[in-house]
Amino acid sequence: MIGIVSPSVASAPEGGNPLFDNKLVWMNSADAAFYLRRTPNALRIAVHRGELRARKWRARLYFKKIDLDLMVETSP
């Protein structure tokens, strides 16, 4: 699992949150939902509607942080 980091596994530098560290590239559904302040189901709906791109690996959805940031920047 290169590049996939979960906040429960990663140690946060200086007490910070690893989700907001710029080194994080991939997020699972729970981490991405926390990052966007949405529910994991809201992310699945966005993927189904084509509003957000996700990659599936072993029956789990993973999101690139840059795609999440782009979604926030282009939302009305």
* CATH (domain of 45): 1.10.1660
pLDDT in tens, 8-65: 444 455 556 666 666 668 999 999 999 999 999 999 999 999 999 999 999 999 999 9
Q: How many domains does the chain have?
A: 1
Residue 54 CB-half CA count within 13 A: 25
Residue 53 forms part of a structural domain? yes
Residue 27 forms part of a structural domain? yes
Host domain of residue 36: 13-74
In this prediction the pTM is: 0.66
Residue 5 forms part of a structural domain? no
Residue 8 forms part of a structural domain? no
**Pick from 11, 14, 3: nearest CA to 63:** 3
**Cα distance between residue 33 and residue 13, in whole Å:** 21
Token pair, residue 8, equals 């429960």
Residue 25 forms part of a structural domain? yes
Residues 17 and 7 sit within 8 Å (Cβ to Cβ):
yes
Residue 1 forms part of a structural domain? no
How many CB atoms sit inside 10 A of residue 72's CB?
Answer: 11
